[in-house]
Amino acid sequence: MNRERLLKEHQLRNINHIHWNLPTPALYEESIRRGEGLVAHLGPLVVRTGHHTGRSPNDKFIVKESSSGNQIFWGKVNRAISEAHFERLHDHILAYLQGRDVYVHDCYAGADARYRLSIRVITEYAWHSLFARNLFINIGDQESSEDFHPDFTIIDLPRFRARSEFDGTNSETFILVNFEQKLVLIGGTSYGGEIKKSVFTILNYRLPQKGVLPMHCSANVGPDGDVALFFGLSGTGKTTLSSAPGRRLIGDDEHGWSDQGIFNFEGGCYAKTIRLSKEAEPEIYACTRKFGTVLENVTIDSATRAIDLDDETLTENTRAAYPITHLENIAPEGVGGHPDNLIMLTCDAFGVMPPVAKLTAEQAMYHFLSGYTAKVAGTERGLGSEPQATFSYCFGDPFMPLHPTVYANMLGEKINRHGVDCWLINTGWSGGPYGEGERMKIAYTRAIVDAVLKGKLMDVPTALDPIFGIHVPTACEGVPSEALKPRNTWMDGAAYDAQAKKLAGMFAENFRQFAGGVTEAVRTAGPEV
């Protein structure tokens, strides 16, 4: 593609130099030349993202326009900004770019070519171009780039600041998605994850219209071709448990479920690295020592260039962005058949949910809409000593533009059509809440996941949990029988009952917002209150 066509298509004027689809070594050179980062021992590029060390949900808006306005689930998550404000900010961005260098990367989201999205990322940071190169699927040779036409364009300018009083934004930072113009504007933040999640938001809007369920989950495949999905919010063990010996990773975070099966949206991984263990997660740990990996906010010794994954000085949310080919045990094609098992992970800090339970399709829909986990002191600023229940519908509410029941009803239909076995696994506390009980041993959780994926729990007798209404296996190889009955692990059974009923009430209160969009069977699939 020539320079003139690019400038015309994106209304760019007086651009100084366009760096187009640069390979990884060239992007390293540009990043170092511009002072954007340091090369660490063994080759990763270490960068800092400034005061934004995570996503800025309060600064994300969807443009309210006629083509999509009636479909968006407007509210505290999907907040509207006017077309006029978008246009004003777009004009300011075009003026800002005059006389500057830009880095352009053309790529795809979606390993299945039938449903993939063509994306063009235009950015002022070389390392953001490398981030896009790592996280998405590259177009291949230079010849194919001549015929590349983006379905969506992202203009990403970390140094550009909005004026909230004029631009209709919440602050100087903004992430604006315009479905009609097929354009995303990002500014005021250097956090690479905003690029990744903007693409996910677009896919979550477009794919249901094509009969594809977009999912915030990891996926792997066994030696016999059996596919497993792992849903779970941050801290539940989604990445760790899906990277299992003997099974190949399809993807670690975002997938689609079509009539043909599962496919990865991405070409890379964006793993948390804080206190990453070489023993517990050897493959991911190894990626933090490889050329091509981008390490965000990881502490580095500027003299020795050694990194410290245990240092949380800058943030608890340190990250590694690397191509999935950095891992050895992968499904390189990024696709798999229909899932045999669907696992929903929760980290219950109240200590009352069983370590494993079998779910009906209706219960799976209920827990999918609930998206429950619990946060504890130290994981986020402002949390007190008591656990805090967190409900994030579809295990990813910041990225779901449509009504949550659209996704849940699609999930239920696919579960029933393909006979998928559904499970709820608690990686949280046992024997009492956080501060009194103990975190479930990772060895027990791995044994449970192994038993699920090998079909060892299908014929095991189950006991009905009287409060949560789910069926709990009475035995699992490698797990003490008492650990399977959370009430029996508490010293005070009455205290357990009170805590369990308290959490059940939180589930019911949260689910009221979805009750009108699901069947009676789903409405009654939750805990007893």
Is 253 a catalytic site residue? yes
Cα-based distances in Å from 95 to 5, 91, 92: 19, 6, 5
| 118 in catalytic set | no
Tokens of 523: 């409405």
Number of C-beta neighbours around residue 501 at 10 A: 14
Which helix (H) or strand (E) element contains residue 373?
Answer: strand 372-375
| 526-to-362, 499, 503 alpha-carbon distances in Å | 9, 16, 11
CB 170 within 8 A of CB 334: no
Q: Is 88 exposed, middle or buried (0-12, 13-18, 19+ CB in 10 A)?
A: middle
Q: Do the Cβ atoms of 336 and 261 come closer than 8 Å?
A: yes
Which residue, among 107, 60, 105, has the nearest Cα to 79 in the 3D structure? 60
Largest CA distance in the chain: 74
Choose, from 129, 169, 198, 239, the residue flagged as catalytic.
239
SS3 annotation, 182-212: CEEEEECCCCCHHHHHHHHHHHHHHHHHHCC
Among residues 226, 253, 397, 465, which one is catalytic? 253
Active-site pick, 216, 248, 255, 326: 216
Catalytic residue among 60, 128, 319, 471: 319
Give dist(CA 292, CA 37) in Å, integer.
Answer: 13
Q: Tell me whether strands 227-231 and 339-346 are parallel, antiparallel or unpaired.
A: parallel
Residues whose CB is less than 8 angstroms from the CB of residue 133 and which lie 6 or more positions away in sequence, other chains included = 24, 27, 105, 107, 323
- Which residue is catalytic, options 10, 48, 55, 248? 55
> Helix-strand-coil percent breakdown of the chain, rounded to 5?
30, 25, 45
Q: Which residues contact 38 (CB under 8 A, 6 or more apart)?
A: 32, 45, 46, 300, 302, 305
Residue 423: phi, psi to the nearest 5? -140, 150
- Residue 70 CB-density burial (10 A; 0-12 exposed, 13-18 middle, 19+ buried): exposed
Of 92, 116, 128, 238, the catalytic one is: 238
Looking at residue 445, what DSSP letter applies?
A: H
User: 361-370 and 493-511 helices cross at what angle (nearest 10)?
Assistant: 80
- Whether 205 and 401 have beta carbons less than 8 Å apart is answered as yes
Cα torsion through 30, 31, 36, 41, rounded to 10: -140
- Helix (H) or strand (E) holding 424, with range, is strand 421-426
Catalytic-residue membership of 55: yes
Is 239 an active-site residue?
A: yes
In whole angstroms, how far apart are CA 4 and each of 14, 378, 380? Answer: 11, 52, 47
Q: Which one is catalytic: 24, 234, 299, 360? A: 234
Catalytic residues: 55, 197, 216, 234, 238-239, 253, 319
